[in-house]
A = this chain, B = another copy of it.
C-alpha cells in the first residue's frame, strides 16, 4: 500500500461524541490537517445555565486537542468543580456537570454567538485557540434539537440522556425539519474521497447529521466512498445507549442491523472480528478487525486499516 498516497486522501468523518471523536483522532494522527474534516452532530446541543452547550462538538474538539478526560469520555482532563459546587449550594441544576475549564468553552462560545458569530465561526475560534488545525464542523448553524419519545413523554435529548441517564425506554426519535447544512459542510463533502461514518449511535448521533438538508442526498448522489464503522460489538454498545435503543426499537442488536439502518447510503462496513461472518450482504464490502479503540494507538491503527481498505475499494 502506498502510504504517501493514502495521506493524500481527503477524509470526512460524520461524528457524534466519544466514538466519533476517537475515530477522528485516529485519522488526525495519519493525515495532514487540511485533509480531514469532522462533521459533528449538534442535535444534542442545548441551552443550560444561560449558556449554549454543544456536547458532541466539545468532545471532538477536546479529543483532537489532546485535552479530553480519558476516564469519562466527556469534559476536560485535569478538571475542577469549584463553580459547579457553588451552583449546587445556590440550588441551581447540577445534573449536567460543567467543570471550571469546560465552562470557559461555553462562556466563550456563548459570547461569540451573542456577538453575531455563527456556530461554525465560534467553533473555528475555539479550535484555533486550542491549536487544532483539522476542520471541526457543526452540521448546521441552526438549532436542530433531537427529541426522544419515551413512555414518559417526549424529552429533550439531554434530559433523556444525562438527567434521566437514558433509562426511559425509547419509542421513537424526532428530528427537526428544515435544518440546513453549512457551506463548509457541503464543501467538505464535495471534496472528500472517503466519508467515514463513525461508530457513533446511528439514531441520535448519525441520523441527526444525515437529516440535515441536503447531507443525506449529497452522500447518496456523490460518487465518494462511504464506509460506516459498527458501534455494536458482540451484542453490546461500546458506550452509551445504542444497544438498549436498538432493542427497544424492536431491532436485533447486531452489526448487520446497524448496516441495515444505513442501507444503500454506505458502500462498505467495518465491524468487529468477534462478530465475523454475522453480516451477510453481498452488495456491501466488509472489513472485520478489532474496532475497539481503547488507546490513541488503537485509534490510529483502526483509522489506518480503514484507509487501507478504502484504497483497495477505490482501486477496484
Contact = CB atoms under 8 A, between A and B. Distances in A.
Contact of A114 (B50, B83, B90, B91): B50
Interface string A93-118: 10000001101111111111110000
A48 B92 contact: no
A210 to B, nearest CB: 30
A297 interface: no
Contacts of A101: 82-83, 86
A49 interface: yes
A107 B83 contact: yes
A52 B50 CA distance: 8
Contacts of A130: 90
A80 B81 CA distance: 12
Given A49-B111, A51-B50, A114-B50, A103 B129 contact: no
Question: How many of these chains are in the complex?
Answer: 2
Contacts of A50: 50-52, 106-107, 109-111, 113-114
Nearest to A76: B86
A87 B100 contact: no
Interface residues of A, number: 35
Contacts of A48: 111
A133 interface: no
A314 B82 CA distance: 49
A114 B82 contact: no
B83 A103 contact: yes
A123 to B, nearest CB: 12
8 contacts: A51-B107, A82-B82, A82-B100, A82-B101, A83-B103, A86-B100, A90-B105, A91-B129
The 10 A-B residue pairs with the shortest CB-CB distance, nearest first, are A50-B110, A86-B104, A92-B108, A49-B107, A82-B100, A90-B108, A87-B104, A49-B111, A83-B100, A83-B103
